[in-house]
Structure 1
Amino acid sequence: MQQKSEPASSEDDDPLFIQSLARGMTVLEAFRQAEGPLSLAQIAARTGLTRSAAQRLVHTFRKLGYLTLSEDGRGFRLDLPILDLTHDYLRLNPLVRRASPVLLELRRNVRERVDLSLFDGRRMVYAARMQSKRETFFATLVGNSVPTACTSGGWAVLAMLPEAEVDAILDDHPIPQITPRTLTDPAAIRGQIALTRENGHALAIEQILMGEVALGVAIPDADGRPIAAIHIAASLSEWAPEDFRRRVAPLAAEAVRSILPG
């Protein structure tokens, strides 16, 4: 069940915080990882709202165009204006704008999948996905997220963080077992983070998809704090891991240098 996210600061102590707007946003957030349209009862359960409050908010979002009735009339789903907001976010994000031409050139050079993911605490959120011939539809969607602790780009980001922040990410919640080879032991993941610091990049084998090798390099901001990562992924049926590393690591590092401002 989708849990209501906590506000960045205490609602009671913030005179500018609008409670009604926050409750409305929980309705949109209820659709995260939903398997299909949601009924009013499901929306109320996922948000912690009463059914009456959920009904009023759903009605408002339908009037605004952000929600629509499902084809069978039994639930609601997000509608097209949500994509308008997504497009505007990507269009106005300075990192995505700088990275886009660099990623296109990198994709032409490596001829494998190239992704840009943004660091968001315990998850990496994909902002650009340039697929290879092997990808499934949902795996290529912008906005898809994966645990920071389970990916090459996530390991690269963690390698640039202070140890206290790494501990908070690894120890706060159980790490999901996505594939039989996904590392879930924090000590084992810390070992990969240490290797990443030595090498300047992370190499992950079958952490998110079986049969996949992925190399990740973090992108820092002007203060040296990681804010994103480039992932390059390929098939183990076509690449030995060390051959893949030797081929793409220099290209990924050069791409990051090209993206950095100034």
Structure 2
Amino acid sequence: MSPKFLRSLQSNRPDLPEAEKDPLYVQSLGRAMQVLSAFHQTDKPLTLQEIATISGVGRSAVQRMVFTLRAMGYVDRDPDDRGYVPGLRILDHTLDFQRLNPVVVKAAPVLLELRRMARERIDLSLWDDLRLVYASRLQSKREILSSTLIGHKVPLFCTSGGWAILAHLTDAEADALLTRSDRTQCTPKTITDIKQLKREIAKAREKGYAVAHEQILSGEIAMAAAILDANRRPVAAIHLAASLAEWSPEEFEKQFAPLIIQAARTVSRA
């Protein structure tokens, strides 16, 4: 993936500049999180200078923060001494999130049952502004590494889960998100035109689920339904993905649409 595409998948909260002006905002803590977040954009260990360049934090400050984070177990040296990598302690927080997030906890048995019935890949993604972050991934018989990792991110604008979530927003909200999205193609068939995307969102609104053909991976068909909170606002999506070599779009939709609609309703809050 290109650096531009990777950056587009990072958290891009529009309210952050306002939060930085608040007297309760701890700037040093914010910078430390920027340092840790530098690893989001790399597939190799990082030097201090690389961390400084990616995070936008000065090198001397990065050096002090990395020393502190290493002492606490949140950053470590690469075994081959090529730079720094995330430390083991970060996994403690991953576990905390998994066991305390109410959507993840409620969805877990539902996802297992859906996987048992469908025998295809089942995912739970959480909505974060312009991206979806996978919080649970149940494999099918054919997988690639990136599609098995919790924390993997995909764009909101071109995924079945994204369309399902956008379908539960007002037109103005959906338009604003599409406009702000970096609509970079993931495959030759990725839809980037806003008018076409709005048609897919309208279909999802009408059906109660979205279907995406080869939007993220070539040869893949994916279906998703949104999970709603107590205010009927979308917070997450359940995905079901399969191979177009094994399913026609018509049969895939006929077979799995009732299952995924029911699964999303079960997890949604009344």
* TM-score class normalised by the smaller sequence: over 0.9
Where structure 2 has 5 or more consecutive residues not aligned to the other structure, the ranges are none
Query: Is 1:32 the equivalent of 2:40?
Result: yes
- The Cα RMSD (Å) is 1.6
Hey, what does 2:235 align to over in structure 1? 227
Deviations 1:202-249 (A, max 9, x none): 110101111111111011111010000010000111100111001100
Hey, what does 2:219 align to over in structure 1? 211
Hey, what does 2:85 align to over in structure 1? 77
Q: What is the DSSP-based 3-state SS (H/G/I as helix, E as strand, rest coil) of the residue aligned with 2:65?
A: helix
- Following superposition, the deviation at residue 121 of structure 1 comes to 1.1
Query: 2-side partners of 1:21 and 1:48: how far apart?
Result: 14
Judge conservation of contact 2:228–2:269 (CA < 8 Å) in 1.
Answer: no
Please point out which of 162, 169, 181 is paired with 1:173. Answer: 181
User: Which residues of 2 match residues 35-46 of structure 1 at below 5 A?
Assistant: 35-46=43-54
Query: Is 1:155 the equivalent of 2:163?
Result: yes
Query: Is 1:256 the equivalent of 2:264?
Result: yes
Judge conservation of contact 1:102–1:259 (CA < 8 Å) in 2.
Answer: yes
Query: 2-side partners of 1:132 and 1:33: how far apart?
Result: 27
Hey, what does 1:103 align to over in structure 2? 111
Please point out which of 133, 139, 143 is paired with 1:131. Answer: 139
Judge conservation of contact 1:4–1:46 (CA < 8 Å) in 2.
Answer: no
Q: What is the DSSP-based 3-state SS (H/G/I as helix, E as strand, rest coil) of the residue aligned with 1:119?
A: strand
- Normalization by structure 1: what TM-score? 0.96
- Following superposition, the deviation at residue 11 of structure 1 comes to 5.2
Please point out which of 191, 211, 214 is paired with 2:199. Answer: 191
Deviations 1:47-78 (A, max 9, x none): 11211111000000000000001122131000
- Following superposition, the deviation at residue 4 of structure 1 comes to 9.4
Query: Is 1:56 the equivalent of 2:64?
Result: yes
- Following superposition, the deviation at residue 165 of structure 1 comes to 1.4
Judge conservation of contact 1:110–1:248 (CA < 8 Å) in 2.
Answer: yes
Q: Aligned residues, how many? A: 262
Task: Give aligned-pair identity as a percent.
Answer: 52
